[in-house]
């Protein structure tokens, strides 16, 4: 079997995401082309070091991009070629800058929400009111919303970890309307002999009917049916990553906010606001799903100078999200 199909097969055996598959394959191809189409089995530590140094010195890539390329090559040699690579740590490393996160105040969040249409406003409220990552929000399914316990279940988040976050009471109505909308879309898909959705970890084999149930449908479904690039099956996936990002960028411009805003900015603002309201750092760490407290500290670094009042987390969720959603309705 040729090299790239072997790489793809091994990635799927390890149950890595499709985005990781595309990224690793792209870096492996770039590595081979850089070394003038030599087969990786004929190369080793020196060639890897040359490529990584080229990325830092000639291409001026960031440290995270260089690490991404390194991870792809390590995966190639260890998991696909089954070969231990020696010491290649003497390559030029891209400098990792220490950057403070961009933060939004409540008034700025309200202004952005007023310029977002319905579904995208709800998604942004969840990013800010629950501290979700963009992919975590996109991958929510109908069954993950627990109205009885006022909780949202985050399944297989970063690091394949599950966690639970509180459901703001003031977005309950918006979520119920969104589920009704999903139900209508799903009913039409079933009438067209469709209605199937992707299920993780071979659950489709174990539970053949689950893929057509409303509970497993994505909370924010895509506008049209698409073809799964791995299986070729036609199914309705969730919205693509860049859809919400484009709406947030547009809303930020309309609001006249001159900050570099992304979907992740709302997660940073969520963590910082909690700390400013007196919540302890360990609780913030748990809600964000961080394994290392140092990561949480980086999120909340700008807030330490401004901590003043002591407000419980539940009070913050009720007051803050109610103000934002109602003011932008």
Q: Looking at the annotation, which residues are catalytic?
A: 133, 158, 264, 267, 290, 299
What whole-number distance in Å separates Cα of residue 277 and Cα of residue 316?
A: 8
Alpha-helical segments (H) within 76-160 = 106-114, 118-130, 134-138
Residue 288 CA neighbour count, 13 Å, CB half: 28
Long-range CB contacts (< 8 A, 24+ apart) of 236-243? 236/185, 236/189, 236/194, 236/195, 236/196, 236/197, 237/197, 237/198, 238/138, 238/139, 239/138, 241/134, 241/135, 241/138, 243/120
Number of Cβ atoms within 10 Å of the Cβ of 54: 15
């Amino acid at each position: 079997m040729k090299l790239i199909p072997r790489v793809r097969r091994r990635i799927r055996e390890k149950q890595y995401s499709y985005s990781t598959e595309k990224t690793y394959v792209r870096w492996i191809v770039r590595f081979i082309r850089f070394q003038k189409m030599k087969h990786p089995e004929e190369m080793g530590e020196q060639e890897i070091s040359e490529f990584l140094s080229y990325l830092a010195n000639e291409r001026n890539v960031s440290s995270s991009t260089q690490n991404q390329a390194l991870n792809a090559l390590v995966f190639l040699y260890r998991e696909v070629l089954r070969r231990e690579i020696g010491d290649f740590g003497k390559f030029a490393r891209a400098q990792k800058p220490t950057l403070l996160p961009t933060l939004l105040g409540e008034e700025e969040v309200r202004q952005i929400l007023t310029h977002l249409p319905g579904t995208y406003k709800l998604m942004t409220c969840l990013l800010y009111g629950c501290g979700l990552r963009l992919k975590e929000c996109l991958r929510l399914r109908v069954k993950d919303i627990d109205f009885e316990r006022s909780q949202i279940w985050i399944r297989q988040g970063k690091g394949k970890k599950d966690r639970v976050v509180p459901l703001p009471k003031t977005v309950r109505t918006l979520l119920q309307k969104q589920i009704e909308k999903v139900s209508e879309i799903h009913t039409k898909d079933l009438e067209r002999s469709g209605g199937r959705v992707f299920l993780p970890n071979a659950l489709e084999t174990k539970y053949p009917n689950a893929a057509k149930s409303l509970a497993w449908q994505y909370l924010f479904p895509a506008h049209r049916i698409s073809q799964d690039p791995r299986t070729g099956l036609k199914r309705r996936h969730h919205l693509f990553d860049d859809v919400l990002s484009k709406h947030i960028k547009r809303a930020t411009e309309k609001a006249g906010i001159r900050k570099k805003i992304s979907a992740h900015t709302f997660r940073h603002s969520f963590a910082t606001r909690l700390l400013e309201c007196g919540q302890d750092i360990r609780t913030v760490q748990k809600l964000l799903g961080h394994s290392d407290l140092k990561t949480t500290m980086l999120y909340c670094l700008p807030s330490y100078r401004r901590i003043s009042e002591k407000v419980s987390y539940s009070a913050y969720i009720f007051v803050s999200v109610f103000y934002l959603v109602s003011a932008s309705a």
